[in-house]
Amino acid sequence: MNKDMLLSTRAKDAIKVALAMVIAYAIALSMGWDRPYWAGLAVAFISLETSGQSFNKGAQRLGGTLLAAVAALLILSLYPQQRWMFMVVLSSYVLFCTYMKSTTRNSYFWNVAAFVTIIVAVDSASSTEPAFYTAMLRIEETALGVITYSVVSAVLWPQTSARALYNTASQLSNAALNLFQETLRDEFSSNPKNYLKQQGNLAALQARLDELANIAQVESYEIWEVHELWKDSAQLWIKYERTIEAWRQNINEVNLLEVETRLPWFKQYQEEIIERLTNIARMSSGKRVKYKSPFRGFQPNEIDTTGLSHLEKATLSLYVRQLINIERITYELHEIYAVIFGFRQNLEPQLKIEKPTPKHIINTGALKGAFRAFLCLWIAYIAYIFAPNLPNSSVLLILAGVYSVSLSTNPYVKPSSLLAIGVISTIFAACIYLLIMPHLHSFWALGTLIFIAVFSIAYLFHSPEAGLARMFGLANFVMTTGISNNQSYSFSFAVNQLLVFLLIMGIFTCVSTFTFKLRPEIQYLSLLRRFFTSAGYLLADQNSSSTPQRSAIQRYLRRHHINEIESIPHIMRAWMPGISPTIEKHELIKTIVVLQALSIRLSVLMGEFKDAENAPFYEALRHNISGWNTQLMNDFESLVQEPSGETLRAAVRQCQIKLPEMEDTISTVLDEQSKDGIELEERLNIYRILGGIRSVYQALENYEEQSQKVDWSYLKEARF
C-alpha cells in the first residue's frame, strides 16, 4: 500500500505546519534571536493548501513587513517626541493600508503593512531597544518563518497550485454544465434551494479559479505561457453565471409563447451549448477530446412573431439576446480551453476577448472597515496615554490595531463568537505555559510539545470554515507561551494576556455597535435602501442625459450606482447567518433572490439604453420612455422611504394600466417611422428596452408579493 494513503490531506497539512514551526523555533533560538515567536507567527499565518498559495502569501507577508519597517522608522524619525502627531500620522497610514487591503488583489500585503507598522512603531517607542533593531529583527524572523514553511511545503508532500488549478477548472466546467441543464429544466421553480446551492457552488469555484490562476503561473512554466488565457477564462465564467441567471428569469414568461416553435433553431442551440460545455469539462479533466470548431451557424433573427403583441415580441427579443450572449461566452470559453490544453495552437485572430475595465470606485464597505480600525486604534491609544496602569498597555495598543485591521474585511463576524474562540485558545495556551513548560529541560522536549500543540490546532481546525479558530489558536499559543532563550514563567503574565484580549473585544464591540451599527437586521434594511437609492439614481440619470457625453463626475456616479445594484444582493446574503433565528430567514433569502433578479434586469436595461443612444427610433420614443422611467424612479424613491413594499401596491396596479399604453405608443411610432424604414437591429433594440422595462415592473411586482411575507416590524425593532 502507498504510504501516502495512510495519512489524510488534513493530517499531512497539520504535520507540515507543526514541523515548520519546530524548525523555525530551533533556528531562531540557536541564533540567539529575541522574540523567536515572530518566526512562529509567520509559519502559522502563511500555511495554506498548496505550496504556491503559501509561497505567495509568504512573499506578501515579507513585502508588507519591509514596507512596514520603512514606514515605522520614518514616522518615528519625524515625530520622536510629539505623541499626538505621531498617532495622527500612524493612524492615517493604517487607515490607508486597511482600505487598500479591501480593494486590491494583494490584500495580505496591505494587511501586514498596516499591523507590523503598529508593532514596530509602538514597541520601539515603549522599549529601550533601538527602532532599527526592532525593525530588522522583525524582517529577519518573518523571512525565517516564510523560508522554513516554503521549504517544508515543497519537500514534504508537495501540493502544487497547478494541480489544484486543473482540478478547480474541471469542477467549475462540470458545475457550469449542470447549471445550464437545470436552468433548461426550470429547476428553480421546482427546487429553488438546490438551484441556489448550485449557483453558490459555481460562484465559489469561480473565485478559486481566479485566485489559483494568478498563483500557479509562478510555479509552472506551462501555465505561465497561457496565464492571460487563464485570467480571461476566469472573467468569462463570471459573465457566464450572470448571463445564465438573466436567462433563467425570463424562462417562465417565454415558455408561455411556445418558444421551440417560435425559434426554429432552439433545439439545435441547446444541443450545441451542452456539447461545448461537455467538451470543456472533458478537456479540463485531462480526457481525450476530438477537437472540432464549434458550430456557429445559428440565425437568431429567425423568430416567428406571428400573432404576438408588442409586449410579447419584447419579451422574446430580450430572451434571444440572452441566448446570443450565452452562445458567445461558451464559444470563447471552448476556444480558450482548447488552446490552454493543447488542442489547438492559437486563438483565431477575429476572436477578441473583452477585457474588464477597472472601475475605480470608492468601496464604501471597505471605507467603513478602515474607519473602524482607525477608531479602535485611537481608543486604545487614549487608554495607553491616560490609563498607564492598565495591564500590558503597549500590548493592548498593538493588539487592538492587529485585530481591528485583520477583521476590517469581515464585518459579519460577531464579537461574541470571537470572545469564545479567544478565551478558550488563551486558556489552552496558558495551561501549556504554566503547567507543562516549566518541567521541560531540553529543546527536544520543547520541540515535541510545540509539534503536538500546533499539530492538534491545525488538525482540528483544518476546514476553511474554521479558519478564524485556527488563526486565534495558533496566534494565542505562540504569543502566550512566549518561548525564548531567557524563558520565565508568570501567572500574572498569562492573566494579563487574557485581560488584554477582553479589553480589545470590549473596544471592538463598542465601535461596531455604537458607531457603525453592525447589527445584521439594521444592515439588511440599510442595504435595501442603498439598493433602491442607486436604482432610482440610474433611472434619473438616464432621463436627464440627452447626450452620451457625460462629465467625469457623472460617469463616476453612474459606475458607482451600477456597482451598488450589482453587489448589494451578495452583501446582503453574507449578513444572513447573523440575523436572529427568531425571524423567518427563508423569507429574507427569497427577498434577496428577488432583489438579485431586479439587479440583473436593471443592468440589462441600462445596457440596452446605452446601445440605443442616438438611434432615430429611440429618439422618437424618448419622451415616452422617459415617462415610464419617471414612474419607475418614483417607485424606487418610495421604497427608499419604506422598503417593506407597502407603497408598491398602487404602483403595481398602475403598471397593469400603463403596459397596454406602452404597447399602443410603440405601434403608433412604428407606423410613423415605417415610411423611412427602420433597421432590424434598431427595432429589436427598442423591443428589448420595452422588455427590460416590463421585466423591471415584473420584478417590482414580485418584490411587493414577497415583501408581504417578511416580518418587517421585527427587522425595524430597536433593541441593544
d(CA 389, CA 123): 17
Angle at 661 between CA 658 and CA 665, to 5 degrees: 140
Domain residue limits at 51: 3-158+362-514
- Is the backbone of residue 489 left (phi > 0), alpha (psi -120 to 50) or beta? beta
- Flag whether pLDDT at 175 surpasses 80: yes
Instruction: Indicate which CATH number applies to the domain containing 700.
Output: 1.20.58
Question: Domain ends where: 514, 542, 568?
Answer: 514
d(CA 666, CA 67): 62
433 — pLDDT class (breaks 50, 70, 90): very high
> Which tens digit of pLDDT belongs to each residue from 510-569?
888 877 777 888 888 889 899 989 988 888 887 776 555 677 888 888 888 888 888 898
The verdict on residue 345 lying in a domain is no
135 near 67, Cβ under 8 Å? no
Say whether both 316 and 450 belong to one domain: no
Question: Domain ends where: 476, 495, 514?
Answer: 514
Give the residue among 480, 478, 472 at the shortest CA–CA distance from 497: 480
Say whether both 283 and 376 belong to one domain: no
The verdict on residue 357 lying in a domain is no
d(CA 363, CA 99): 8
The verdict on residue 302 lying in a domain is yes
The verdict on residue 401 lying in a domain is yes
294 near 337, Cβ under 8 Å? no
The verdict on residue 47 lying in a domain is yes
Say whether both 194 and 244 belong to one domain: yes
Say whether both 600 and 561 belong to one domain: yes
The verdict on residue 292 lying in a domain is yes
pLDDT of residue 656: 62
Give the residue among 35, 41, 6 at the shortest CA–CA distance from 21: 41
How large a percentage of the chain has pLDDT more than 90? 19
- Flag whether pLDDT at 82 surpasses 80: yes
Say whether both 404 and 330 belong to one domain: no
The DSSP code for 676 is T
Say whether both 405 and 527 belong to one domain: no
Say whether both 504 and 530 belong to one domain: no
Length, in residues, of the chain = 720
- Three-state SS for 386? helix
In whole angstroms, what separates CA 41 from the centre of its chain?
26
- Flag whether pLDDT at 629 surpasses 80: no
Residue with cell 495622527: 88
715 near 524, Cβ under 8 Å? yes
The verdict on residue 641 lying in a domain is yes
d(CA 615, CA 644): 39
Say whether both 185 and 322 belong to one domain: yes
d(CA 125, CA 131): 8
Average pLDDT rounded to a whole number, residues 462-466: 81
Say whether both 464 and 320 belong to one domain: no
Question: Domain ends where: 469, 497, 514?
Answer: 514
Give the residue among 219, 65, 71 at the shortest CA–CA distance from 143: 65
Q: Is 43 exposed, middle or buried (0-12, 13-18, 19+ CB in 10 A)?
A: buried
pLDDT of residue 650: 67
pTM of the predicted structure, to 2 decimals: 0.83
d(CA 547, CA 555): 13
Q: How far apart are the first and last CA of the chain?
A: 59
Helix intervals (H) in 220-309: 221-225, 227-255, 259-262, 266-284
* Total domains, the chain: 3
Is the four-CA dihedral 277, 281, 287, 293 of positive or negative sign? positive
Say whether both 9 and 114 belong to one domain: yes
> Which tens digit of pLDDT belongs to each residue from 83-121?
899 999 999 999 999 999 887 778 889 999 998 999 988
Residues ≥6 apart with Cβ < 8 Å to 256: none
Average pLDDT rounded to a whole number, residues 233-254: 85
Say whether both 421 and 307 belong to one domain: no
DSSP letter string, 103-141: HSS-HHHHHHHHHHHHHHHHHHHTSSS-HHHHHHHHHHH
Say whether both 688 and 712 belong to one domain: yes
515 near 66, Cβ under 8 Å? no
Query: What's the mean pLDDT when you consider all of the chain?
Result: 83
The verdict on residue 348 lying in a domain is no
